[in-house]
Structure 1
Amino acid sequence: MIIDLRSDTVTKPSKAMLNAMMEASVGDDVYKEDPTVNALEERIAEMFGKPKAMFFPSGTMANQTAIKLHTNPGEQVICDKYAHIYNYEGGGASFNSGVSCKLIEGHRGMFTAQQVIDSINPPEFYHSALSSLVEVENTTNKGGGACWDFNELQKIRKVCDDNTLGLHLDGARLWNALVAKKETTEQYGNVFDTISVCLSKGLGCPIGSVLVGDEEIMEGAMRVRKIFGGGMRQGGYLAAAGIYALDNNLQRLEEDHTKAKELEAVLTKATYVKKVEPVETNIVIFELQNDINSNVFITKLESKGIHIVGMGENKLRLVTHLDYTNKMHTYVLDLLSDF
């Protein structure tokens, strides 16, 4: 039995999802003639109360498109030092949009409205890059699946309004945050100019993310997606998986969160663990004791059929997901308890 806890991206479509995909009505999405893609985009746009949405092959492409739409070359994006757009998107912000990142020293990937104010470059001071966009990630990946305080997000919105800054949400795992915090898509649609949401993580789709936004900012989304090579033809087969996931896999995210909390409880008691980040959703990040080599630890777990990932600095990550069964969970809990 191979138990893959490296990420929630490792899931495979269920038989029911595959059936929905194979029964999809399709057309040419580049001509906007794929009815299933159109239906997915309309549904997610409506969920967030936004006029437009666009289907993308990946969350990285959706985020990079948002950055491109909000900025001009030479400008600056304000984000946390843990931000996915800075750490895990191949330097795309600088390569694709010619912008730099002003990094905030936040807490577990989250920052305050005051920190945003302190990070804005004076617009009249032409020696520094022009601040044009604030980027938020919810839940935070490197922060261990932490969820933002919505009140703080509203304060950041006001700072952006006062300083004519765009506000983008990397919502790769926003679905997890919504379930954990009992919040709504409409709340987030009211705060952010653009939002990317992923279908291939907690919702279990084989591929795909969606970018939603206000009318004016989204006007150029089709052109930017084309430039990035993201135009898909009969994408309805993939969009059908997204529609199925929204119908069937949203509320079950609570199961992943429960399992993650149970893993946290076991690791907190383990003598080989130095620290465990507080668990809110489906990500568990823990730090080994100084005298334990993380690579050796990972290899020993692999010999027991369990795959996890290193985060650097002796930190390791577990991610629960819909393919992580109760039987697997019991095995992992017992093994970690006695390791």
Structure 2
Amino acid sequence: MIDLRSDTVTRPSAPMLAQMMAAPTGDDVYGDDPSVNALQEYAARLSGKEAALFLPSGTQANLVALLSHCQRGEEYIAGQGAHNYLYEAGGAAALGGIQPQPIDAAPDGTLPLEMVAAKIKPDDVHFARTRLLSLENTHNGKVLPPDYLREAWAFTRQHNLALHIDGARIFNAAVACGLPLEALVRYCDSFTICLSKGLGAPVGSLLLGSHDYIRRALRWRKMTGGGMRQAGILAAAGLYALQHQVERLQQDHDNAAWLAGALRDIGADVRRQDTNMLFVRVDPLRAEALGHYMKQHDILLNSAPVTRLVTHLDVSRPQLETVVHHWQRFLSQP
């Protein structure tokens, strides 16, 4: 099956599985799992942050990040399409009493700072206190420009806000920019890394920040049910991913660019391609039929009037050629 629904569908490779099975373990709630500690220390060194915390999922990492920045009755500013606002079940509001203030993102995925400034609440008893600006990098595949990150950092210092980056695909951004991770995340107080998307680990995310911040986050991780025991088996996969599967993300970007060009060549309406994602406009009357047709030919995609295709380590160029072949056959049908 050729699966282009998301890069979350990746499976651990044989070398990754071998490292998982050989991982030394301990009780991570006590802080003595050596593999978890090794992952956290490696990620902190790689990013230039003081500390890191391993969590079961990206959703929990984002939730713990917000809970560690904001008190009940305070707010964070995020994009209308941000995962920690739109796609994570309202957890910050429901569980933390934290108010989201969404704004529209610009076409390049940034949140215009003049719009952010207009939404910062005055110090008045009528309003929630604005405490945090939350960005995504990448956002729908788009890489936030390093100059913008620098400007956002200076902006938050001026307005006494913290700056968090949902970096689920931050390594895609780093590879696309040709920059080390540290160059992108020096301009934030905290950020997350998802290990189970393009990096190919089976599960897990990291939250990174200062020692004090991660100490707060550790308590919230426990409270929200994220304290694991012999988690080193999972952490070993994350460490393998960081050490061996970052640079290969460029292959996913190249494959996505190739697929975008090949689909255009057969008449598909490719709207855009950024990093490992491309978006194709499909006739709304035929979108459901496209999904069924592709599935009959062992190709999975989330077919919609705008269909997102995501390349990843489990999809090869020959498989993408198969996708283009069947897409062309579908388009040729009356």
Question: In the alignment, residue 302 of structure 1 is paired with which amino acid?
Answer: K
- The CA deviation at 1:112 is 2.3
Give the total of aligned pairs. 329
1:259-274 equivalences under 5 Å are 259-271=255-267, 273=269
Partner of 1:298: 291
Question: In the alignment, residue 287 of structure 1 is paired with which amino acid?
Answer: R
SS of 1:206's equivalent in the other structure is coil
Partner of 1:332: 323
1:13-32 equivalences under 5 Å are 13-32=12-31
Q: Distance in 2 between matches of 1:62 and 1:188?
A: 19
Q: Distance in 2 between matches of 1:85 and 1:333?
A: 34
Structure 1 alignment gaps of length 5 or more? none
Partner of 1:211: 207
- The CA deviation at 1:216 is 2.4
Q: Distance in 2 between matches of 1:201 and 1:176?
A: 10
Q: Distance in 2 between matches of 1:337 and 1:76?
A: 48
Q: Does residue 126 of structure 2 align to residue 127 of structure 1?
A: yes
Question: In the alignment, residue 259 of structure 1 is paired with which amino acid?
Answer: N
- The CA deviation at 1:243 is 1.3
Partner of 1:111: 111
Partner of 1:317: 308
- The CA deviation at 1:126 is 2.5
Q: Distance in 1 between matches of 2:221 and 2:166?
A: 17
Q: Distance in 2 between matches of 1:272 and 1:206?
A: 33
Q: Does residue 271 of structure 2 align to residue 276 of structure 1?
A: yes
1:152-163 equivalences under 5 Å are 152-163=148-159
TM-score normalised by structure 2 residue count: 0.94
Q: Distance in 1 between matches of 2:268 and 2:248?
A: 32
- The CA deviation at 1:272 is 5.1
Q: Distance in 2 between matches of 1:183 and 1:92?
A: 33
Q: Distance in 2 between matches of 1:111 and 1:264?
A: 27
Q: Distance in 2 between matches of 1:283 and 1:162?
A: 35
Q: Is the 8 A contact 1:76 1:99 kept in 2?
A: yes
Q: Distance in 2 between matches of 1:93 and 1:295?
A: 34
TM-score normalised by structure 1 residue count: 0.93
Q: Percent identity?
A: 39
- The CA deviation at 1:218 is 1.8
Q: Is the 8 A contact 1:266 1:336 kept in 2?
A: no
Name the CA shift for 1:268/1:114 in 2 (closer, same or farther; >3 Å). Answer: farther
Q: Is the 8 A contact 2:53 2:207 kept in 1?
A: yes
- The CA deviation at 1:176 is 0.6
Q: Distance in 2 between matches of 1:197 and 1:38?
A: 16
State the Cα RMSD in Å: 1.5
- The CA deviation at 1:11 is 1.1
SS of 2:325's equivalent in the other structure is helix
Q: Does residue 161 of structure 2 align to residue 170 of structure 1?
A: no
SS of 2:274's equivalent in the other structure is coil
Question: In the alignment, residue 129 of structure 1 is paired with which amino acid?
Answer: A
- The CA deviation at 1:269 is 4.1
Q: Distance in 2 between matches of 1:71 and 1:195?
A: 15
SS of 1:233's equivalent in the other structure is coil
Q: Distance in 2 between matches of 1:317 and 1:7?
A: 8
SS of 1:220's equivalent in the other structure is helix
SS of 2:255's equivalent in the other structure is helix
- The CA deviation at 1:49 is 1.1
- The CA deviation at 1:36 is 0.7
Partner of 2:225: 229
